[in-house]
Amino acid sequence: MNPLLDFSGLPRFDLVEPAHVGPAIRQLLDENRSLIGRLTAATAPATWHDFVQPLIDAGERLSRAWNMVGHLHSVNDVPPWREAYNDLLPEVSSFYADIGQNLALFAKYKALAISSEFTGLSSARRHIIENELRDFRLSGAELPEDRKPRFKQIQEELSALGAKFSENLLDATNAHSEWITDEADLIGLPDDVKQAAHDAAARDETSAGRGKWKFTLQAPSYLPVLQYSDNRLLRARMYRAYATRAAEFFDAGNKPEWNNGPLIAQTLALRAEEAQLLGYASYADVSLAPKMADSPEQVAAFLRDMAQKARPFAEKDVAELRAFAATELALDALESWDISWVSEKLKQARYSFSDDEVKQYFPEPIVLAGLFRVIATIFSVTIAPDQAPTWHPDVRFFRIEREGQLIGQFFIDLYAREAKRSGAWMDGPIERRRMSGTLDEVIQTPVAYLTCNFPAPVGGRPATFSHDDVITLFHEFGHGLHHLLTQIEDLPVSGINGVEWDAVELPSQFMENFCWEWDVLSGMTAHCDTGQPLPRALYDKRIAAKNFQSGLHTLRQVEFSLFDLLIHGSAAAGRDVMEVLAEVRREVAVLMPPAWNRFPNSFSHIFAGGYAAGYYSYKWAEVLSADAYAAFEEAAAASNLGTTLDAATGERFRREILAVGGSRPALESFKAFRGREPSPDALLRHSGMVL
């Protein structure tokens, strides 16, 4: 049996091969098309049981198989998997574009929405039907027939462009390396970073005569160089290579065919054309149609207000950097490749600790145990190791139970690899739903992938994570909890499904807050050499530095978000993205990168992900998440126990936010938890931006 067609249990990563993709996906596409044909030809009125549920069931099988293919393309982007994915991508994109424009399907949903059955459905099912009607309209179902082929073609081209953007970026990232022969050139770098570079050189079959240490543009190699290396020339070379990945400059390992610039222009033009066909003023308006925010103008005002609040703090951050660089480091000109290095030196001078010093207290096994303990305490669940086929030996598998019952399982893939795309993400190959057609209609428990790109173990020691890595892990696990702790039994609004995109970051950013609590950190640290827990004095220094350069960090996020919003607006039609980015920087930034910096060419979130005209969602949801966490702070203050790990508040958060998934508007869920509208006060307080 083709393992991609085995839906009896967990994904069969031990059996699936690229050759399975074409036959399996084409069979599932044919099955879905045949079902749609039968359902739309039926003369009986559409009902949930006879119309909607069969579509959900068949669609779930296709999405599970295609999700597995897409996942393997992301974590093992070797030529056979890349070819298998790209061969089927046009067909899958075409299928979904056809569904979105199927007037017969649209008519069935419209008829169901005004039928007597509709009012008797659960609120979750009514919400699903309303979402379907909205999505049909956004997919061009109401377009004149002569415009539908072009709309469909746009969707297919956008899918291909997104995949190519991501592949170009990965190839350009992997193409560049810095070889070091003289250990004197490594001054300032932590020992584990040097060891990892030495191991990388030893593994490289081309290392003969090139050097003893190999540094790459993968985050675990690149970021420590920018942060710690006293070798300014090395920092400059690495920065330029990183900042010009997949760009028109071909002196840093790039190839002409990897240039993402033309893909960006094509993508924006196609999105603008899509918006025009749908009757919207811009693609930003299309993007916001299913989100919490009402309009691009509202989002722009939100971002500019955030920039205004952050700017005084950012200007102070920059002034301190420049003064410290000049007086303590003899750097009169502060270049982009100096920022992280000078910032680290300033932080060490001011707070008497380094990120690397803190990192030694976060070995991977202790961190995972601490994370699981937090989850168990506030959500009354247990997490234990489990068994499943995996796509790589480093991947581990766990189960999560509540009151002795299995409620979900998850894979964790923590380490960076050359064939693995950068960043961190959560995805759900299997979603919670009630299985129709079975004798007792059992509940299908959800499964998640939690993927990061942290440094792997070196020198026979466990991997150690920076505090920022720990925060990233908590963040992704927040997404995982949204997927795993849902109680909704209808798949289209189960877990994160159906949640407005600008609210989907609420649980993930919420979880980050626990990484700053002493009662949490003290229980999830052990020095990798001595086994001693994190000293309170070192924790206090880290807390004192929590909002170090928070103004700069906030403006950076606003810059990305406003750029994303504006290039998808009507005023930017046909304009060069670098011109728009320059204008945004003149408006909100206090640090200017070199003119040759090509940040947009690696902005995967908006050109190869789901955040187009939606990157603002991180800041928008941060308001929600900080306010939600404030409820735990209030519970801690009221109890005088000194801990935010409050099970009663956690149960309310689980019940009103996580459990309901996308079955109701996110604002309703927030108000059900908090008892009021969200306020930005907690975010400003947490960020230290209160004058």
Catalytic residue positions? 476
The Cα–Cα gap between 499 and 542 comes to 34
**What pairs with residue 179 in β-bridges?**
214
Strand 177-180 with 213-216, pairing: antiparallel
Neighbours of 612 (CB within 10 A): 24
The Cα–Cα gap between 145 and 147 comes to 5
Nearby residues of 378 by Cβ (< 8 Å), 6 or more positions away: 632, 645, 646, 647, 649, 650, 653
90, 132 contact by CB (below 8 A): no
Pick the closest to residue 430 from 63, 12, 17 (CA basis): 63
455, 416 contact by CB (below 8 A): yes
250, 223 contact by CB (below 8 A): no
The count of C-alpha atoms lying within 13 angstroms of the C-alpha of 64, restricted to the half-sphere facing its C-beta, is: 25
Helix (H), strand (E) at residue 288: helix 283-288
Q: What is the DSSP letter of 363?
A: B
Crossing angle for the helix pair 123-138 and 103-113, to the nearest 10 degrees:
150
Q: What is the DSSP string of 418-474?
A: TTS-SS-EEEEEE--EE-TTSSS-PEEPPEEEEEEEEPPP-TTS--B--HHHHHHHH
What residue has token string 């060419």? 601
The Cα–Cα gap between 151 and 158 comes to 11
36, 42 contact by CB (below 8 A): no
The dihedral formed by the CA atoms of 527, 531, 535 and 539, expressed in degrees to the nearest 10: 40
Longest alpha-carbon distance in the chain: 82
Return the exposure string of 309-330: e unless at least 16 CB atoms fall within 10 Å of the residue's CB, then b.
Answer: bbbebbeebbebbeebbeeeee
Rg (Cα) of the chain, in Å, rounded?
25
> Rounded to 5 degrees, what angle do the CA atoms 580, 585, 586 make?
100
**What pairs with residue 385 in β-bridges?**
398
